[in-house]
Amino acid sequence: MSTTKNKYFLVLLAFAMIAGACGGGSADTATEEPAPAAEQENLDAPATTAAPAPAAEKKLKVGIVLGALGDRSFMDSAKRGFDQAVAELAIEGDYIEAEPAERAVAIQNFLADGKEMIITIGFSEAEITKEAAIANPDVQFAIVDMVITADDGNLLPNVANLVFKEHEGSFEVGYIAGKLSKTGKVAFMGGMDVPIIRRFHTGWEEGAKYANPDIEFCDGYAGSWGDPAKGKEIGLSCFEQGADIIFAAGGATGDGAYEAAAETGNFAVGVDSNQDYIHPGVMITSMMKNVDYAVYTAISDRIAAGGVFASIAAYGSAENGVGPSWLVDGSNLFKETGPADMVAQVDEILAEVKEVRAKIISGEIVVTDAMGG
């Protein structure tokens, strides 16, 4: 082979070797590009599962034992507060409307149903509430209008006692009546002649006398919470004797007294709930007693406590728990619907009764408590 051919062969051989090195390997020896970093992380990550749903909120099981509903007063107010708690708080609520002789059984039915809180309404339920509370120390009880104590005088550890200073609020509405009366005589109709109603009666008369030292009184007791006919009879009798404003503290019995006022062209003061709407222009104001607020608050307090507790909650003028609707909820339907000559006095009397309230709160005015509290 000539030198020229050898050189040519060597050049071709070198070219072939370079081409093989640059051309890459065969399909059998090829390798894949590594996965991008983010993709590689996903491949390496362990499998995940959805977080479990949060457990449903445990609701407090609450029962309330009520008397006859439809009085537009005391019992309806308690039910209103209970209904609000059911709507707004974490509770399961049931109520039983029972006659007096059936209420102990109602409590036992609630206990059998696993109720964690039981509320009773009225001083007359004190004994059955006390017995049930002692026998069931892990159940919270609450009672309106009574303070229950153990035999040693101490509070029971699982009873919330909800009471009111009715005499203070009654003094305030009595003052309004004493100022507005044209005849100088006002009337009181009580349902049952019991100490708590005497609180209303005494406060009413003291307030009227504070407004007018020469005021005169007529009064009567119906002997029932649910006898409007008897309430009307008492009202008519007092109006015939010269009274022109009647304060009725007797549940549904008071409806009759209001009717008497409406039929004779006289005036009335409602009780417990805001009853100003019942006979617009006849109802001057109402001595509100915020049982609804007390019931709602007791349930809220039990939820916050997380267990049973003992307490006394006393609602008076200072707590805005009792008093004329003009002050307690700020309403004044009479100003819109009453006779012009009386309406003309409302603003001045409203300012005065605010001063009266301030004096009660400060202790300058001390209203007699017929229950000695």
pLDDT tens for residues 270-298?
A: 999 999 999 999 999 999 999 999 999 99
Domain-embedded: residue 368: no
Our count of domains for the chain comes to 2
What is the Cα–Cα distance from 169 to 322, expressed in whole angstroms?
Answer: 5
- Indicate whether 221 and 271 sit together in one domain: yes
Reported as a pLDDT band with limits 50, 70 and 90, residue 213 is very high
Across 1-10, 30-39, 101-110, 189-198, least confident range: 1-10
- Indicate whether 230 and 342 sit together in one domain: yes
Q: Which pLDDT score is estimated for 88? A: 98
What is the Cα–Cα distance from 366 to 102, expressed in whole angstroms?
Answer: 39
- Indicate whether 124 and 248 sit together in one domain: no
CA R_g for the chain: 39
CB 113 within 8 A of CB 61: yes
Q: Which pLDDT score is estimated for 290? A: 97
- Indicate whether 348 and 232 sit together in one domain: yes
Q: Which pLDDT score is estimated for 51? A: 53
Give Cα 34 to chain centroid, integer Å: 69
Domain-embedded: residue 263: yes
Pairing status of strand 283-289 against strand 91-97: unpaired
CB 187 within 8 A of CB 219: yes
Which amino acid, 140?
A: Q
What is the Cα–Cα distance from 93 to 89, expressed in whole angstroms?
Answer: 10
Which residues on neighbouring strands pair with residue 163, listed in sequence order?
A: 314
Domain-embedded: residue 350: yes
What is the Cα–Cα distance from 346 to 327, expressed in whole angstroms?
Answer: 12
Domain-embedded: residue 92: yes
Contacts of 235 (CB under 8 A, 6+ apart): 187, 189, 246, 248, 256, 257, 258, 259, 260, 261, 268
What is the Cα–Cα distance from 343 to 336, expressed in whole angstroms?
Answer: 8
CB 191 within 8 A of CB 197: yes
pLDDT greater than 80 at residue 24 = no
What is the Cα–Cα distance from 275 to 249, expressed in whole angstroms?
Answer: 12
- Rounded to 5, what percent of the chain is helix, strand, coil? 45, 20, 35
- Residue 332 tokens read as 């004044």
What is the Cα–Cα distance from 245 to 276, expressed in whole angstroms?
Answer: 14
Q: Does residue 186 sit in helix, strand or coil?
A: strand
Range of the domain at 103: 60-165+292-315
- CATH number (domain holding residue 71): 3.40.50.2300
Q: Tens of pLDDT along 149-183? A: 999 999 999 999 999 999 999 999 999 999 999 99
Domain-embedded: residue 338: yes
CB 139 within 8 A of CB 159: no
- Indicate whether 258 and 124 sit together in one domain: no
Q: Is the dihedral of CA 341, 342, 343, 346 positive or negative?
A: positive
- Indicate whether 109 and 178 sit together in one domain: no
What is the Cα–Cα distance from 166 to 152, expressed in whole angstroms?
Answer: 28
Q: How high is the mean pLDDT of the chain?
A: 88
Q: Does residue 53 sit in helix, strand or coil?
A: coil
Q: Tens of pLDDT along 229-256? A: 999 999 999 999 999 999 999 999 999 9
